[in-house]
Structure 1
Amino acid sequence: MLSNRKKIAAVASLSVATAGLAAALGATSGASSAADIPALQRRAAVTISIVPGAIGPGSGTQNAAAAKWAVVGKYGAAKAGKKAVLQRLSGTTWKTVDKTEIGKNGEVVFGVPGTKGVSYRIDGPGAASTAVTTDAWGTPLDFVDNFAGSRLNSAYWEQRGTEYQPESRRTCAKGDPKAVKVGGGIAKLSVIVDKSRKTLCKPPKPNNPKKIFGKFKWRLNANIGAKTSITYGVTAARIKFQPLQGQHASLWMQPAAGDGSRNPVTAGTEIDIIEWFGKDTPGGGLTSFIYAPSYLGDKFALGGNSGFIKNPEQYLTSEKDDWYKRYHVFSVEWNPQGYIFRIDGMETGRINKGVSAVAEYPILSLLSSDYELKKLGDEKNLPQTMSVDWIHTWQDPAHIPTTPVTPTPVP
């Protein structure tokens, strides 16, 4: 049994401290009075942050509001194995509500409800942390879709990539509304056979056009972009992926409006929050990337050139869990210093290059690129489907744009 599977957690985020809480550096365990120890009398051994809506593994559907928030403490690695406790402010008293062991990397994580107006701190080795509050996140620019009803909400979403795109290595597939279905609180994004095409597609290899990847049925892909954007903040979606290779599922972002330059600050970037290439993919099948300034520009990969998340099974909840069996929350926190990627609140890595400073909008897609078509095997395995329970964005309150941008989707 993997040690990290017993408790879903979360990791570092924007540092958001709540001022004006008397003696936020209180006692080290149990309930304690905020007046017991003067503030800053002892040096806290832990820093703290809070991440909205980051935790939500499970087999059934849930409302986005039910996702747990993550309270994250960062100690040094020397504190690994020691106990830390989560405390909630009740009146003027800090009360212990949870406790866990500090991880090997010196991090400790707790899941809490997103109820507004609640303050938390972390206590343990050394002095307690400062406080964080659930009020740290939430603006009128936030966006959420729980996929209620029986069809995709056209006020929220636009179809993308509705033409064949050989230049993007999708000679045999295009986006189509037929590949997106909504019902039971779930958006089902699929790759399906295009029954209107009776011939076979023969995608050429890019470095040798005289050779082809094979002969395949034409496909329709799910590819939808939100009609809303944020500039810095958190984007998260609760997803259960398709099982097989031959197509890749993605939660990603693109700039709503850039200046067309080579500067990511003004041109924006493509933020590939998570991509899943199917079970039995070498390297584990999950990747995160940044393309700067955007779309096939300079590529910055999580953990180096491969971009594959190392040991992805450590983020699963049990030995029976898998990315195509149960829902998990995949998210990115984007701030002026870079990008923090997470699965169910647990940090998978960071990229501090190609940092966009322009509004970006989220995209959900299941795309079948030419090079991966043969990996499906028997085409009777179509359709393949990713299920999205909800998607939620939180605009960073510290960086609200003066003019919110409505995106103009690009292929």
Structure 2
Amino acid sequence: MPRRCLTALLAAVSTVLLVLAGPAHLSGIARASAAPPAQSVTVRVLPQLAATGVLPEPAASALSTVTATFAPVVPGRDAVLEAKSGKKWAVVARSAQDAAGRVAFNAPYLYGGAPATYRVVAPRTSTHAQATSAEGRTDAWRAPIFSDEFSGSALASPWDHRYQGYDVPSRRCSRTDASATKVSGGVLALSVIDDLARDDLCTFTAGGVEQSTFYRLNGHVGTQGRFAYKYGVAAARIRFQDARGQHGAFWMQPAGTGYGAEIDVAEWFGTGSQGLVNGVWDYSSGTQTRVAGGVMADQAAYGSDWAGTYHVFSVEWTPTEYVFRIDGREVLRTTAGVAQTEEYLILSLLVANYEANKLPSPESLPQTMNVDWVRVWQR
């Protein structure tokens, strides 16, 4: 074959091979450079659930909580909270998405003197397009249906003392007494004090061992028969007691008919104890059974100095789940034991049998749990 013809034939074959290989080669490039799926983001503006400090503060000064959920999840990706300012958006705070694609911010209820409008943005990167949420307003929950800042000088309705004597099996050595509850300076003070009317010893069994200790009086109040609600957000700003031997709590019990549960928003067992506890107890079988919660994991991640600093403890209760938070940060989410009837509020500082001997003498008293305010919101 002449060289000229051979050269032409080779050129033609090369062209055919390039044509055949081209689409696959190009599709490979397209696959390698394809951007990952764009994230979507859903934003929720919750009530004013964050207010940390050592002094009482007006409930209206608490920060609103803004949560965002991104999908698909990109852990560690930046998230920016922006507030609407006229026709522009101003950066308020920055954070990062967690392993579940969630992020939470605490931000002022007011911006520019009016209820704030917020959105959450994941800025554009070299690998991800910008993701922007819809707008959410801080007044979406409207005014609370219940709000008490304890501004008077005495316990007022709808609160009342939960009078319980020494006959409560789990609290043989203490009883409720109004003298252990005081209202002053915008604070409800619930205390454990020495029962001066009893100079004998209380004998009880704990852990299968018979023991004895001195008698005490408890601060223990609730809204049973005067206020209850079904679904919403309940929050209390609390500074707990220091010593062991009693536990402070913000909790709820069923007020109506149908399925109810004990909702322990927060319990504290004193400095040096297991720490904070929350959860849900099921009453339906006739035997009290914990179905969710327990000792809170990684407590230092949510705050510190529970006995010296006020924190807001809250629960968001829907028909299908509970979300427990400390200063707006989620600590427990569960669908177990969701109550379907109204619940009333309880605040208490109680001495149970199993902890009674952890306080060695009356000289260690009083121990006091301070409550700055309590609020309940419904949408």
Please give the range of the TM-score, normalised by the shorter of the 2 chains: 0.7 to 0.9
Which of the residues 306, 315, 328 maps onto 2:302? 315
The equivalent residue for 1:368 is 351
The equivalent residue for 1:275 is 267
Indicate if the aligned counterparts of 1:249 and 1:365 stay in contact, CA closer than 8 A.
Answer: yes
d(CA) in 2 for partners of 1:233 and 1:156? 19
Q: Percent identity?
A: 40
Which of the residues 58, 62, 77 maps onto 1:63? 58
Indicate if the aligned counterparts of 1:293 and 1:354 stay in contact, CA closer than 8 A.
Answer: no
Counterpart of 1:180 in structure 2: which amino acid?
T
| 2:177 aligned with 1:176 | yes
TM-score by length of 2: 0.82
Aligned residues: 331
The equivalent residue for 1:159 is 161
Counterpart of 1:55 in structure 2: which amino acid?
A
Q: What stretches of structure 1 of length at least 5 have no aligned partner?
A: 1-41, 259-265, 398-411
Structure 1 residues 180, 296: closer, same or farther in 2, change over 3 A? farther
Indicate if the aligned counterparts of 1:157 and 1:224 stay in contact, CA closer than 8 A.
Answer: yes
Higher RCO (Cα < 8 Å, 6 or more apart): 1
Q: Residue 76 of structure 1: CA displacement? A: 5.6
Q: Deviations over 1:102-125 (max 9, x none)?
A: 345533222122346432110114
Structure 1 residues 394, 244: closer, same or farther in 2, change over 3 A? same
Counterpart of 2:145 in structure 1: which amino acid?
D
d(CA) in 2 for partners of 1:165 and 1:159? 17
Indicate if the aligned counterparts of 1:253 and 1:270 stay in contact, CA closer than 8 A.
Answer: yes
The equivalent residue for 2:240 is 241
The equivalent residue for 2:337 is 354
Counterpart of 2:288 in structure 1: which amino acid?
G
d(CA) in 1 for partners of 2:332 and 2:277? 11
Q: How does 1:141-290 map to 2 (within 5 A)?
A: 142-153=145-156, 155-167=157-169, 169-205=170-206, 211-212=209-210, 214-226=211-223, 227-258=226-257, 266-282=258-274, 285-290=275-280
Structure 1 residues 175, 296: closer, same or farther in 2, change over 3 A? farther
d(CA) in 2 for partners of 1:184 and 1:296? 41
TM-score by length of 1: 0.75
Q: Deviations over 1:74-94 (max 9, x none)?
A: 236953333221122344443
Indicate if the aligned counterparts of 1:77 and 1:105 stay in contact, CA closer than 8 A.
Answer: no
Indicate if the aligned counterparts of 2:49 and 2:63 stay in contact, CA closer than 8 A.
Answer: yes
d(CA) in 1 for partners of 2:279 and 2:167? 21
Name the SS of the counterpart of 1:373 in structure 2: helix
Indicate if the aligned counterparts of 1:164 and 1:171 stay in contact, CA closer than 8 A.
Answer: yes
Q: Deviations over 1:343-386 (max 9, x none)?
A: 11111112211111111111100000011111123332111111
d(CA) in 1 for partners of 2:244 and 2:100? 33
Counterpart of 1:310 in structure 2: which amino acid?
A
Q: Deviations over 1:272-329 (max 9, x none)?
A: 11111111113xx111121113785231131xxxx1100101111xxxx410111111
Q: Residue 63 of structure 1: CA displacement? A: 0.8
d(CA) in 1 for partners of 2:265 and 2:219? 17
Q: Residue 337 of structure 1: CA displacement? A: 1.3
Larger radius of gyration, structure 1 or 2? 2
Q: Residue 238 of structure 1: CA displacement? A: 0.7
Counterpart of 2:277 in structure 1: which amino acid?
T
The equivalent residue for 1:138 is 142
d(CA) in 2 for partners of 1:117 and 1:312? 32
Which of the residues 97, 102, 106 maps onto 2:101? 106
Q: What stretches of structure 2 of length at least 5 have no aligned partner?
A: 1-36, 124-129
More helix by share: 2
d(CA) in 1 for partners of 2:168 and 2:188? 27
d(CA) in 2 for partners of 1:173 and 1:77? 53
| 2:56 aligned with 1:47 | no
| 2:289 aligned with 1:298 | yes
